[in-house]
């Protein structure tokens, strides 16, 4: 499954840490998916906060259909000023938080 914002946000650092620590391929995949899902929810939270009620519903209706992703992203650029910068920043924040969590303690 591809997340809608996956191709815009950059979260390689946390994924490299996962690569480094998990030798088993299945477990690595599970952990990467967990990270992607966490970041996806953080980014989606920001996006929903930026949209009015109608646009929220139009986004949610198509978000799980990968064939709709490109057109939804185009519309999000129209609906939210500085859309790409905002979601990149939120994803980076979420990634930094994850790295801090696993390196502290």
Partner 1 sequence: MPSGTTSHAQHIRKTLEQHHTGVVDQFYKKHAQTLRFAKDHSLALAGAVILTAAALGASHAHAFDQTRQKQQQETSSLQSFMELLTSLMASRQTLNSAEEQVVADALSKKFGLKLQVSLDGNRLNEIFGYVGKEQHLRRWPGDSLAGHDLPSAGMAPLQGAFKDFASMDQEKYYVAVQLHELPNWNRDWSTLKPWYKYRKVFVFNPVNQKGIVAVIGDAGPAKFTGKTFGGSPEVMDYLQMKDGSQKGKAVLLFVDDKQNKIALGPIESTANYLAGN
The footprint of partner 1 (CB under 8 A) covers 17-18, 21-24, 26-27, 31, 34-35, 37-38, 41-42, 44-45, 48, 52-54, 56-58, 60-62, 65, 68, 71-72, 74-75, 78, 98, 101-102, 105
Q: Give the torsion sign (CA, 97, 98, 102, 105).
A: positive
Closest separation between CB of residue 10 and partner 1, Å?
19
Closest separation between CB of residue 103 and partner 1, Å?
9
Give the DSSP H/E element, type plus range, for residue 34: helix 25-50
- For residues 14, 15, 17, 19, the Cα torsion angle rounded to the nearest 10 degrees is 170
**54 vs 81 by CB, closer to partner 1:** 54
User: Are 90 and 22 a contacting pair, CB within 8 Å?
Assistant: no
Closest separation between CB of residue 95 and partner 1, Å?
12
């Amino acid at each position: 499954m591809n997340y809608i914002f996956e191709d815009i946000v950059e979260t390689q650092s946390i994924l490299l840490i996962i690569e480094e620590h998990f030798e088993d391929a299945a477990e690595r995949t599970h952990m990467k998916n967990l990270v992607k899902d966490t970041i996806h929810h953080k980014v989606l939270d920001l996006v929903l906060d930026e949209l009015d009620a109608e646009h929220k519903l139009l986004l949610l209706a198509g978000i799980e259909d990968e064939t709709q992703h490109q057109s939804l992203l185009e519309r999000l650029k129209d609906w939210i000023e500085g859309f790409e910068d905002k979601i990149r920043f939120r994803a980076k924040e979420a990634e930094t938080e994850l790295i801090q969590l696993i390196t502290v303690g």
